[in-house]
A and B are shown apart, each in its own frame.
Chain A
Amino acid sequence: MTIVFKILGLTGLLLTILPAVVYSFDFVELSFVKTSMTLGMFFWFASSIVGPRLSSRAGE
């Protein structure tokens, strides 16, 4: 389960920064950046707060 949350957290960080990089090259709209950053935020906090608790309950 730990690896799943690590991947989720990394995805969250990538969703936070990559769309802004791509936006600066005119590939996506600003609304896409805002949406993916919001998703990235949920992914990051889910993986780093909920993840460790679930993992410890599962005895990992």
Chain B
Amino acid sequence: MEQIDPPSSVEAAISDTTVNEYERQPVPSKSHKGAGKFWGMYAGEHAAGTEFMIGPLFLLNGVTLQNVFIGLLLGNLLAVLSWRYLCAPIATSARMTLYFQLEKIAGGGLVKGYNFANGVLFCFLAGAMITVSATAVGIPFNMEMPTIEAVYPNSFLFVVIVLAVGALIAVVATLGYESVAKFANVASPWMVLVFVACGLVAFKELDVSNWSELNALWDGSIAFAQEGKSESAMGFWSVVFFSWLCNAAMHVGMADLSVFRFARKSSYGWATSAGMYVGHYVAWIAAAFMLAAQIKIAQDVNPVPGPMADRVVGLAGIVCVVIAGWTTANPTIYRAGLAFQAMLPSVSRRVATLAAGCLATVAGVFPAFAWKLLGFVGLYGMILAPIGAIIFFNWHFRSNGDASELESREFKGSFNFAVFFAWLLPVGVSLYFIQVKGVSPWFLTIPCWLVCGFLYLLFSLKSEQA
């Protein structure tokens, strides 16, 4: 999904080795990279531990099988188009990171605020990944698995295992993530195949021979999971918007400017289709079939990744869950640490990373963060994506797509209130609709993004006139 997926270890690998050299300058042409690197990176990036959670949550939310297949197809296409036509063209023209570009528009003070929000959200995301890994690590210890209703930890052993897994990930993150990123690169082709194998085995266990039998079994699984109610909490458009915007912070939110500024051409944006259709299509559907098979065979509706993977493919499945969780949680904690350190430059990176790791581990103790992953990922995108609108509207309407004009119009202060209020107003209203009216966050991301962009243009114009 990651990420919902978060910035991957693979991206991190690029960042650690080369990106840091050009953090505060456009990437020179000698450092541009070919298309193959991007295809491989995105395919690996979206085979994360959280994919094991998201697919089953569609079933538990009563999404029909047709909506899963067609909704994900369309939503992932929209995500790919967003990367290709919104993010990649700016990245390959300006060749700057989101942070550097935002600093030029909004001032260093506001970038720190963005970093803080990013860091906190990263910690909770990493917490869900730690929970996922802990469910696999707990299998040899006969750990009682948390149920889908569980908000708090259900056993002392679960807490101990989450703390141990979280501590290990946090300590490794403090050492830097280059070695983990290399390991993630090595593991990703194997992990993708394990995901596919899980889906094949689970599909076989469903024992269906045609679409109508599969559909009937799927509906039966939903009815069993919902204790006979068979209500859908997510319709077709929910699936489309969720799959489109679960990575909103990366594409419309422009975080992947950091990645695509190394691309020779903006057409490399198509490489994201590898991640979307391997990770967010095949892997999600495979994981959903794993839960359907578990319901059919064991009458168990708990979508706990470790035992689910163990039941269908054994030890390889358990190891895959641990590695998928670890290799994505590790860079997430590392980046959260960097974000916190940017807020408090006097604190060392190791201390900041440890603090981020502690926050993520505490979040991981509460399984509710993993069970509520759909809502959390939607909220994450809704809060961060509007910053991308600032970049997009500024690039096209104020800088006229010209990097030199972006430089010449650089904001001289440290805190641009036009940007701050353009972001705060739509996000504040959206949070009201989410909390009070119960609107799903993924329906508010695009309106929020558009309003933020227009308000930014309006406020900038007013402040210039003033």
Q: Taking beta carbons and an 8 Å cutoff, which residues of A are in contact with B?
A: 12-13, 16-17, 19-21, 23-24, 26, 30, 33-35, 37-38, 40-41, 44-45, 48-49
What is the distance, in angstroms, from B102's C-beta to the closest C-beta of chain A? 38
Residues of B within 8 A of A41 (CB): 190, 315-316, 319
Q: Which residue in chain B gives the minimum CB-CB distance to A48?
A: B186
Of B89-97, B198-206, B372-380, the one touching chain A: B198-206
CB–CB B204/A38 < 8 A: no
Assuming the contacts A20-B201, A23-B201, A38-B314, asked whether A13 and B189 have C-beta atoms less than 8 A apart, the reply is yes
Q: Which residue in chain A gives the minimum CB-CB distance to B190?
A: A44
The residue in B194, B197, B198, B200 that gathers the most chain A C-beta atoms within 10 A of its C-beta is: B197
CB–CB A33/B186 < 8 A: no
CA distance A35 to B315 in the complex (A): 8
Residues of B within 8 A of A49 (CB): 183, 186
CA distance A17 to B144 in the complex (A): 30
What total of A-B pairs shows CB separation below 8 Å? Answer: 61
Interface residue ranges of B121-170 to A (CB < 8 Å): none
A-B residue pairs, 9 tightest by C-beta? A34-B314, A20-B197, A37-B316, A20-B200, A48-B186, A24-B204, A16-B193, A17-B193, A38-B315
Q: Taking beta carbons and an 8 Å cutoff, which residues of B are in contact with A?
A: 183, 186-187, 189-190, 193-194, 196-198, 200-201, 203-204, 313-317, 319
CB–CB A23/B316 < 8 A: no
CB–CB A16/B316 < 8 A: yes
CA distance A23 to B199 in the complex (A): 12
CB–CB A40/B316 < 8 A: yes
What is the distance, in angstroms, from A57's C-beta to the closest C-beta of chain B? 18
What is the distance, in angstroms, from A27's C-beta to the closest C-beta of chain B? 11
CB–CB B193/A24 < 8 A: no
CB–CB B313/A37 < 8 A: yes
- Contact partner of B200 among A12, A21, A35, A38, CB < 8 A? A21
Residues of B within 8 A of A24 (CB): 200-201, 203-204
CB–CB B190/A16 < 8 A: yes
Q: Which residue in chain B gives the minimum CB-CB distance to A17?
A: B193
The 9 listed contacts between A and B (C-beta, < 8 Å) are A12-B190, A13-B189, A16-B190, A16-B197, A26-B204, A30-B201, A33-B314, A37-B314, A40-B316
Residues of A within 8 A of B183 (CB): 49
Residues of A within 8 A of B201 (CB): 20, 23-24, 30, 33
What is the distance, in angstroms, from A16's C-beta to the closest C-beta of chain B? 5
- Contact partner of B313 among A20, A21, A44, A45, CB < 8 A? A20
- Contact partner of B197 among A17, A26, A48, CB < 8 A? A17
CB–CB B316/A38 < 8 A: yes
CA distance A3 to B203 in the complex (A): 36
Residues of A within 8 A of B316 (CB): 16, 34, 37-38, 40-41
CA distance A24 to B204 in the complex (A): 5
Residues of A within 8 A of B317 (CB): 37
What is the distance, in angstroms, from B180's C-beta to the closest C-beta of chain A? 13
Residues of A within 8 A of B314 (CB): 33-35, 37-38
What is the distance, in angstroms, from B158's C-beta to the closest C-beta of chain A? 25
CA distance A23 to B145 in the complex (A): 29
Residues of A within 8 A of B203 (CB): 24
Q: Which residue in chain A gives the minimum CB-CB distance to B183?
A: A49
Assuming the contacts A20-B200, A24-B204, asked whether A13 and B190 have C-beta atoms less than 8 A apart, the reply is yes
CB–CB B193/A13 < 8 A: yes
CB–CB B204/A23 < 8 A: yes
Residues of B within 8 A of A38 (CB): 314-316
